[in-house]
Chain A
């Protein structure tokens, strides 16, 4: 769904060959000016000097990156030793995004597999059921999760009523809530690509494995999983990448203590206390991480495609 714009080959004719420059011009202009140039400008900003009431002074400096990586003591005059504050926030975000990915995989894979093994007639309906939450406002979904996890909320009521917990648990404003929020936000992204892969899987391979006395779980591990691996990897990336830069889940479910990269960046641009070059630098570091992941993915896809032929 959000995995990049797919394109066909050149088999669709070239009726509008002469006009294609004009047809693409609006896209080039809009996206260059409103996405490409801003991202490059952000790179420039990360090397500028901060203005105290937000914004920048156009003087070149490494100060933003220095602040990110270097601890220079109380008076800022010591040699650089590693600054852990921001690295820890990044590390925790990676860890939480990774855990959200694993959780989504554990729930999402069986769901995708189950849907793909339904009769062809009802499959679109199942897929539609998984797709709907993706199109529902993420803010509202996160707010409803906050409602669920409140101290006097439905989940705690259920836990106390059923005797699982003796007293309401503190779930909201904890790392646990952020974790659940991330998992819940991007779960549909895991199901859809895996479903697409399992649907193409040839089930006679599973039958052949069963005929050769492979157990069900061996078949799943050794035959099904390798065959649908591209879908699994795509799902993992589609959950991991947005989780890494998430803002709403840590902000609405984690409270003030449970910062993630997204919250750190947002804080730099709010009100007068912010530091724009530092926010730009943190954004650049996040963007580089995402681009590296996507490049590894693209390369792997290209290699997998080469093997098939």
Chain B
């Protein structure tokens, strides 16, 4: 019987296609990671294992440029993720603990807007906006743009988490004469922490990785890691770029893994 069930569910070739799917998704990144450890200065031949290009990233002739870009990237990502997470947490509280109200659907639409508008269109629109109000392009324009499009990414895990928490905990706190503010900060917020951390990390990665919007709203001379990498790749693919890329990929994977396990915790 169990054999028959298994047969009904499975289809020939699906396993192979799944393997192919994972191969397509992972192989290019793995190949670049392997080649970033290549001792050769050419990207064609393999001349043995070496950490030469990783050293080059930190001490080589282009290291100052990359360090500055990395610093900009991290400052922007930390600030944008913090602000976006705070805004998204407040919004989720209103959307999920605020009862039914007329502007609810409209607010949900507004929050989803950055996900629906194609990124290049958001980039053009944001550039036009800053240009019209005469806001000089630079780090601040990048930061503002990042805050806006990070909000939905922070909102999704936070609201999902809040939906999983019954409001009986806060009701209990209110019955015991806690003020609403206390019920929020001492009861709801700690319960939501996994969702908030998860949302923060995702917003952080989205900001850290963004290229298209950053490329449009950055001022001349201001670079983040992705725009610096893009500029370098346009000059030709060099091994030090592969080393930086591999580090950034590793960093993203660590962040997503942490976010995944934090989000799952005691759910």
Measured CA separation A36–B194 after assembly (Å)? 31
Contacting pair B90 A136 (CB below 8 A): no
Instruction: Identify which of residues 187-212 in chain B touch chain A, using a CB-to-CB cut-off of 8 Å.
Output: 202, 205, 208-209, 211-212
Interface range for A: 35 or more
Measured CA separation A28–B125 after assembly (Å)? 18
**Assuming the A-B contacts A5-B159, A245-B119, are A30 and B147 also in contact, with contact meaning beta carbons closer than 8 angstroms in the complex?**
yes
Q: Does A82 contact B (CB under 8 A)?
A: no
Measured CA separation A124–B9 after assembly (Å)? 19
Contacting pair A35 B170 (CB below 8 A): no
Q: Does B55 contact A (CB under 8 A)?
A: no
Instruction: Identify which of residues 136-167 in chain A touch chain B, using a CB-to-CB cut-off of 8 Å.
Output: 136-141, 143-148, 150, 152, 154
Q: Using a Cβ–Cβ cut-off of 8 Å, how many residues does chain B contribute to the interface with A? A: 109
Q: Does B72 contact A (CB under 8 A)?
A: no
Contacting pair B113 A26 (CB below 8 A): no
Contacting pair A130 B132 (CB below 8 A): no
Q: Which residues of B contact A184 (CB under 8 A)?
A: 24-25, 28
Contacting pair A283 B124 (CB below 8 A): yes
Q: Does B59 contact A (CB under 8 A)?
A: no
Q: Does A265 contact B (CB under 8 A)?
A: yes
| Shortest distance from the beta carbon of B61 to any chain A beta carbon, whole Å | 21
Q: Which residues of A contact B245 (CB under 8 A)?
A: 137, 140, 143-144
Contacting pair A34 B144 (CB below 8 A): yes
Measured CA separation A17–B96 after assembly (Å)? 10
Q: Which residues of B contact A63 (CB under 8 A)?
A: none
Question: Which one of A10, A30, A41, A187 lies within 8 Å of B125 (CB-CB)?
Answer: A41
Binary B-proximity of A242-259 (CB < 8 A = 1, otherwise 0): 101101100010000000
Measured CA separation A129–B167 after assembly (Å)? 34
Q: Does B235 contact A (CB under 8 A)?
A: no
Q: Which residues of A contact B129 (CB under 8 A)?
A: 34, 37-38, 41
Contacting pair A114 B14 (CB below 8 A): yes
Measured CA separation A114–B180 after assembly (Å)? 48
Q: Does B87 contact A (CB under 8 A)?
A: yes
Binary B-proximity of A204-238 (CB < 8 A = 1, otherwise 0): 00110010000010011000000000000000000
Q: Which residues of A contact B160 (CB under 8 A)?
A: 6
Contacting pair A137 B209 (CB below 8 A): yes
| Shortest distance from the beta carbon of B230 to any chain A beta carbon, whole Å | 6
Q: Does A27 contact B (CB under 8 A)?
A: yes
Contacting pair A147 B237 (CB below 8 A): yes
**Assuming the A-B contacts A36-B113, A247-B120, are A16 and B8 also in contact, with contact meaning beta carbons closer than 8 angstroms in the complex?**
no
Contacting pair A15 B183 (CB below 8 A): yes
| Shortest distance from the beta carbon of B70 to any chain A beta carbon, whole Å | 13
Q: Does A59 contact B (CB under 8 A)?
A: no
Contacting pair A23 B115 (CB below 8 A): no
Stretch at the interface among A68-76, A286-294, A300-308: A286-294
**Assuming the A-B contacts A14-B97, A137-B248, are A287 and B256 also in contact, with contact meaning beta carbons closer than 8 angstroms in the complex?**
no
Measured CA separation A31–B145 after assembly (Å)? 10
Contacting pair B118 A242 (CB below 8 A): yes
16 extra interface residue pairs, beta carbon distance < 8 Å, beyond A13-B167, A27-B107 = A12-B166, A26-B86, A26-B91, A30-B147, A30-B151, A108-B21, A110-B13, A135-B202, A140-B32, A191-B21, A244-B118, A245-B121, A252-B233, A283-B124, A287-B117, A287-B118
> Which 8 A-B residue pairs are closest in the complex by CB-CB distance?
A14-B99, A245-B118, A13-B167, A20-B98, A38-B125, A23-B94, A38-B129, A34-B148
Listed A/B pairs (27) with beta-carbon separation below 8 Å: A1-B156, A5-B152, A16-B93, A20-B101, A23-B90, A23-B94, A28-B110, A31-B111, A39-B121, A41-B128, A110-B13, A114-B17, A135-B256, A137-B226, A138-B211, A140-B32, A141-B28, A147-B43, A147-B237, A152-B44, A184-B24, A184-B28, A191-B21, A203-B9, A210-B8, A269-B216, A286-B118
